[in-house]
Amino acid sequence: MKLPLVLFLCVFLAYTAVANNYNSKSDTTINTFNKAYVYRVKKLQDVINIDGVIDENDWKQAQKADKFYRVLPVDTGFATQPSTMMMAYDDKALYVAQIFYDTIPGDRVMESFRRDFSFGNNDNLLIFFDTFLDQTNGFSFGVSASGAKWDGTMSNGHSISLDWDCKWEMKTKHYDNRWVSEMRIPFKSVRYPKGSKEWNVNFSRLDLKSNEKSAWAPVPRQFPTASLAYSGRMQFEEPLPKSKMQFSVIPYLLGGAAKDFEAGTSTDYRTDVGFDAKVGISSSMTLDLTYNPDFAQVEVDQQVTNIDRFELFFPEKRQFFLENSDLFSSYGYSHTLTPFFSRRIGLDAPVLAGARLSGKIGNDWRVGFMNMTTEETGENLARNFTVASVQKKMFTRSSLGFIAVNKEYFDVPSDTSMYNRVIGFDYNLASKDNVWDGKFFYHRSFQPDNPDKQYAQGAMLMYKTQHLNLGLFETSVGENYRAEAGYVRRTGYNFIGASAGYTFVPNKKVVNHGPSIKLDNYFNPDKDLIEHQYQFEYELTFANRAELGFEYTDHFVQLRNDFNPTQDPEHYLPEGSEYDFGLFSVSYQSTRKSLFTWQAEASKGSFYSGDIQYIQGEIGYRFQPYVNLTMNFNYTDMDLGDPFSREKFWLVGPKMDITFTDKIFWSTFVQYNEQIDNLNINSRFQWRYQPVSDIYLVYTDNYFTGNWNSRNRAVVLKMTYWFN
């Protein structure tokens, strides 16, 4: 396996210098791909009222950004429906005005009033600010046609985390031929360098009635409009005021009751208090503190049918761990092999307290430090989790990062050491034009009585143009690699993979279509093939943005452990047995502009020693913008032959989301899962009575699916308030 790795590294490192277009006199503003697109922001001469009426003289004098280029379904020409953006500022805030013309008959698409709306299900405006001119990190603000807000932090050049909220004003009004918004974004809500006079910016419009996505600074169709590599520039008339130190505290009060019917215990009543605090150390560095955090209001995970040999991955949803999370979670491969996965903290024991320091030092350095302590329980010792991350910008948009993770146990016997540690570095390649993307990393774990083969190493290189998509992938993980605070899907293997795809863009009813292939090969430490998965796919996208796909997967597996996909305790597929099977699938995603939407995937084929067929998907209907009804479903029929019994089970998850106003929300999610014999009900009421201050009422219940006896039940009332 050494020769492919050496060749891979030669190609990867040789291309790095070319792809980054390095200039020894580099200036991030000059290197912005769309540097010719400049918006000059004038200082206010009067007062602007945030009322959705664009009638102030400052708006008449402001520069008009009114030529939006199409990005989807094709990236040629201007958008069908005109758009106009304007900006102005004073010593305290940035003001933004938006006019989106709409003359196509029919209702505008607006799913709900909920903050941080689903991008693809709403007519909307998104704005992307690169305040440090690094084309990697930034802030995003937006508004849907219903007047719902969107705000988030940006990382990795295009990724947006919507779990960051700040205080800002916005008002939306609708007219027969247009919809209009005004915004006021306080400068204290964002971070920027001292003496800033220029940011990078782009405006993006999604107009579902015309089935078009467009942007002020043009973006190739293969990239999201959030790509900071393709942002334009905004120049302020005068330097911005010095960013003031920020300090905010969000305490909470909680009361609740829970009863475990299975255990037969009495009702457990509890009250609790805690807080989160945020301290602006500088204009670009933030200290977050938490004491006795509670996550009762966090949305429950969507359950899945589990017939996999490995641990399933569920994303983090707790807000404290999500802000600036890329500083800690972007190492390795986030969904298969990463040294730090925040869901390892606090799910099996309450979090006592924690602190996180994160931000930038100058334009080229980012640092992150997190320390969390969990309490001792009847099953687990108290533990401390410490993570440190440093990233150095390289060339135009690439970076070199170092991470150290330490999990330490408290109150262990004096002659015993209990810890797990990982250190590693990642090099992330991102070319100036986004066409090349890559990564190389090496991590090593340290644990008592586990001396050998504690390494994890990987590399990838991807090339993406409008028509061609190519990828090379390589991973090697030692048998004894342990990252207890991370997510490691499997150990003791070597992996080589490749992918290729070609997209035709005919610009007709079918706006793009094309084939793709993905070849994954796994080898044991002795270089013997133990698994391959070859996927062949053909996808079509229609003018209304509906999608149709066909896929065939050929799978070979030599089991390294006993495996039972039916979860039958008496029978299993034995270690060392080999299986070659294939599966054909067809999938469809309907257009998002209809009130009724649906997506589904149907599959049929062989599976290990037998056969399988399943259908899964989601249907939805909205009474916009107040009620959104969805239901995900999965029906699996699996027959592995003797001695296994045939298994048929349903997973059905109806969900009702009601947004009475932009401040009052109620959602109920029911999940019926035959595989685990459980019916779960989770109902959550939220009242945002002040900006970023909430009252939650959460009810949870679980039942057996056969006799419908209750397993456990809980209700929680929680109140938070933002002192800023």
CATH number at residue 122: 2.60.40.1190
Instruction: Please report which confidence band the pLDDT of residue 173 belongs to, taking 50, 70 and 90 as the band edges.
Output: very high
Mean pLDDT (whole number) for 87-106: 95
In a domain, 76, yes or no: yes
The per-residue pLDDT for 13 is 47
The per-residue pLDDT for 151 is 93
Q: What is the DSSP letter of 645?
A: P
Mean pLDDT (whole number) for 714-723: 95
In a domain, 347, yes or no: no
Of residues 392 and 17, which shows the higher confidence score?
Answer: 392
pLDDT tens, 650-669?
999 999 999 999 899 999 99
Output the CA torsion 550→333→284→195 (10° steps): -60
Q: Say how far apart CA 351 and CA 344 lie, in whole Å.
A: 11
Instruction: Please report which confidence band the pLDDT of residue 320 belongs to, taking 50, 70 and 90 as the band edges.
Output: confident
CB 221 within 8 A of CB 236: no
Q: Say how far apart CA 206 and CA 196 lie, in whole Å.
A: 30
In a domain, 408, yes or no: no
In a domain, 148, yes or no: yes
Q: Say how far apart CA 304 and CA 311 lie, in whole Å.
A: 12
CB 369 within 8 A of CB 388: yes
Instruction: Please report which confidence band the pLDDT of residue 6 belongs to, taking 50, 70 and 90 as the band edges.
Output: very low
Q: Say how far apart CA 434 and CA 135 lie, in whole Å.
A: 11
Alpha helices in 392-453 (DSSP H): none
The residue among 326, 285, 288 whose CA lies nearest residue 132 is 285
Which residues, 6 or more positions from 577, have their beta carbon under 8 angstroms from its beta carbon? 558, 559
Instruction: Please report which confidence band the pLDDT of residue 566 belongs to, taking 50, 70 and 90 as the band edges.
Output: confident
Instruction: Please report which confidence band the pLDDT of residue 416 belongs to, taking 50, 70 and 90 as the band edges.
Output: low
CB 179 within 8 A of CB 108: yes
In a domain, 570, yes or no: no
Amino acid at 476: S
Q: Say how far apart CA 611 and CA 12 lie, in whole Å.
A: 41
Q: Say how far apart CA 699 and CA 717 lie, in whole Å.
A: 9
Q: Is residue 14 scored above 60 in pLDDT?
A: no
Q: Say how far apart CA 184 and CA 396 lie, in whole Å.
A: 32
The per-residue pLDDT for 411 is 81
The per-residue pLDDT for 32 is 67
The per-residue pLDDT for 415 is 61
The per-residue pLDDT for 506 is 86
pLDDT tens, 179-203?
999 999 999 888 888 889 999 999 9
Instruction: Please report which confidence band the pLDDT of residue 4 belongs to, taking 50, 70 and 90 as the band edges.
Output: very low
Instruction: Please report which confidence band the pLDDT of residue 123 belongs to, taking 50, 70 and 90 as the band edges.
Output: very high
In a domain, 64, yes or no: yes
| Strand, coil or helix: 150 | strand
CB 570 within 8 A of CB 547: no
Q: Nearest 5°: phi and psi at 410?
A: -100, 155
Domain range for residue 129?
A: 32-236
- Tokens found for residue 472: 């090379």
- Bridge partners of 582, per DSSP, are 554
Highest mean pLDDT among 8-12, 116-120, 617-621: 617-621
Q: What is the DSSP letter of 195?
A: T
Find how far residue 459's CA is from the centre of its chain: 22
The per-residue pLDDT for 402 is 97
The per-residue pLDDT for 246 is 79
Q: What is the DSSP letter of 121?
A: G
Mean pLDDT (whole number) for 557-586: 92
Mean pLDDT (whole number) for 465-475: 96
Average pLDDT of the chain, as a whole number: 90
In this predicted structure, which of 108-112, 252-256, 530-534, 630-634 has the lowest mean pLDDT?
Answer: 108-112
Which residues, 6 or more positions from 657, have their beta carbon under 8 angstroms from its beta carbon? 112, 114, 627, 628, 629, 630, 665, 666, 667
Which residues, 6 or more positions from 547, have their beta carbon under 8 angstroms from its beta carbon? 539, 540, 541, 587, 588, 589
Tell me the pTM. 0.88
Of residues 273 and 379, which shows the higher confidence score?
Answer: 273
Question: Rounded to a whole number, what is the largest CA-CA distance in the chain?
Answer: 82
The count of structural domains within the chain is 1
In a domain, 362, yes or no: no
Mean pLDDT (whole number) for 692-697: 94
Mean pLDDT (whole number) for 423-437: 93
In this predicted structure, which of 65-69, 73-77, 278-282 has the lowest mean pLDDT?
Answer: 278-282
In a domain, 161, yes or no: yes
Secondary structure of 202-257 in HEC code, one letter for each residue: EEEEEECCCCEEEECCCCCCCCCCCCHHHCEEEEECCCCCCCCCCEEEEEEEEEEE
The residue among 311, 379, 303 whose CA lies nearest residue 348 is 379
The per-residue pLDDT for 23 is 36
CB 221 within 8 A of CB 72: yes
Mean pLDDT (whole number) for 390-414: 90
Q: Say how far apart CA 582 and CA 172 lie, in whole Å.
A: 52
The per-residue pLDDT for 507 is 72
